[in-house]
A = this chain, B = another copy of it.
Amino acid sequence: MTAPLVISVDAMGGDHGPSVVLPALIEAAGLIGSSVRFLAHGDPEALEPIIRKLPRAQGRIEIRPADGVIAMDAKPAHAMRRGKGSSMWNAVESVRTGEASAAVSAGNTGALMAISRLVLRMIGDLERPALVANWPTLNGMTSVLDVGANVVCDAPRLVDFAIMGSAYHRAAHGGGRPSVGLLNVGVEHDKGHEEVREADRLIRSPSLDINYLGFVEGDDIAKGAVDVVVTDGFTGNVALKTAEGLARFFRAELRKTFTAGPLAMAGAFVASGALREMSERLNPSTINGGPFLGLNGVVVKSHGSADVRGFAHAVRLAADLASSDILTEVADTLGRRARLDATSGTESQIA
């Protein structure tokens, strides 16, 4: 991109609001390392005192006054009807008008999704954005989608996720042709339900040019067997949250182990440097940021509880996506998938 990069943020969203979002923008500018600028949507009375205390905010962060804030527990339908003019809505609207190349919010996920669909619209025949989890593995990072939005998926929808996941992985994590696996309960062709078996067939179409390796199982995610794991939003959400629960369980067990007695505590003290490095490597802050894929624009959701560093990483991800070809690439390939359906109607489940 030759034009300066502009990122629009919902400065009021998340558990901590502007006290985290605004310092995170300064940190993000360091990560992005360019002449990036930010539109901070929110209440000027809340934003100004924080910005005044920040170094290097002048000319970098522009306040855009917004009337309201979408509550963290607001219903998406309510947010769509009443959310116009809120900090979240206006952050997304800046992408639609072209003033910004991407929007980031740590606010209410359902509301952000509903507003993004309404304001930016979906590409092609997609119904709702796919949510991607950035999953640390033994090999690096795997992108898993959908992890929540599309609870019921037919085979063509799973193919769409493969297309969007490939484009996303390349834009966010680099590499040439990301490998793709379809999540199933076994790797043989006859395993699983009708939707995955049909998707396994469709996804191999040469016109889509997906680097597809076939079915993968749950334990292949953490192994890093493929770069992109494709699944429906129900299964993906359960897998992600099960993993989050297990990670908490392991941390609790480790804590119990290292406080079990004086010897264990001494051991933990001696090993503390290595333990700190391990928790650093697995720190959710450094892998924060879930993009909404399939919209006519880049929108990234940060965890509501993200700290400054976490929100900065979500902003950096938004910048990476905004600087990539992901939108045109997804639109082009989804178009080829749609033509695939049209030319051989029996191949697809689409009515």
Docked-complex contact A217 and B192, CB < 8 angstroms: no
Is the CB of A82 closer than 8 A to any CB of chain B? no
Docked-complex contact A192 and B247, CB < 8 angstroms: no
Docked-complex contact A271 and B264, CB < 8 angstroms: yes
Docked-complex contact A222 and B193, CB < 8 angstroms: no
Docked-complex contact A245 and B223, CB < 8 angstroms: yes
Assembly CA distance A281 to B138 (angstroms) = 24
Is the CB of A350 closer than 8 A to any CB of chain B? no
Main secondary structure of the interface of A (DSSP, over half): helix
Q: Which of B218, B234, B256 contacts A193 (CB 8 A)?
A: B234
Assembly CA distance A240 to B237 (angstroms) = 14
Docked-complex contact B218 and A242, CB < 8 angstroms: yes
The bracket for how many chain A residues form the interface is 35 or more
Docked-complex contact A271 and B273, CB < 8 angstroms: no
Docked-complex contact B257 and A274, CB < 8 angstroms: yes
A1-37 residues with Cβ-Cβ distance < 8 A to B are none
A263 neighbours in B (Cβ, 8 Å): 270-271, 273-274
> Chain A 131-161, CB within 8 Å of chain B: the 1/0 string?
0000011100000000010011000000000
A237 neighbours in B (Cβ, 8 Å): 185, 217-218
Nearest to A266 among chain B residues (CB) is: B270
Assembly CA distance A256 to B221 (angstroms) = 19
> Chain A 213-247, CB within 8 Å of chain B: the 1/0 string?
00001111111000000010111011111111111
Assembly CA distance A268 to B263 (angstroms) = 10
Docked-complex contact A242 and B242, CB < 8 angstroms: yes
Nearest to A196 among chain B residues (CB) is: B234
Assembly CA distance A258 to B239 (angstroms) = 28
A251-274 residues with Cβ-Cβ distance < 8 A to B are 252-254, 256-258, 260-261, 263-264, 266-274
A267-289 residues with Cβ-Cβ distance < 8 A to B are 267-275, 277-278, 281-282
Docked-complex contact A272 and B278, CB < 8 angstroms: no
Given A217-B241, A264-B275, A268-B271, 18 further pairs, Cβ under 8 A:
A152-B193, A183-B238, A218-B239, A218-B242, A218-B243, A218-B244, A222-B246, A223-B249, A235-B235, A239-B242, A242-B243, A243-B243, A257-B278, A260-B277, A263-B271, A264-B273, A270-B270, A271-B271
Q: 6 A-B pairs, CB-CB below 8 angstroms?
A: A218-B237, A223-B248, A264-B274, A266-B271, A267-B268, A267-B269
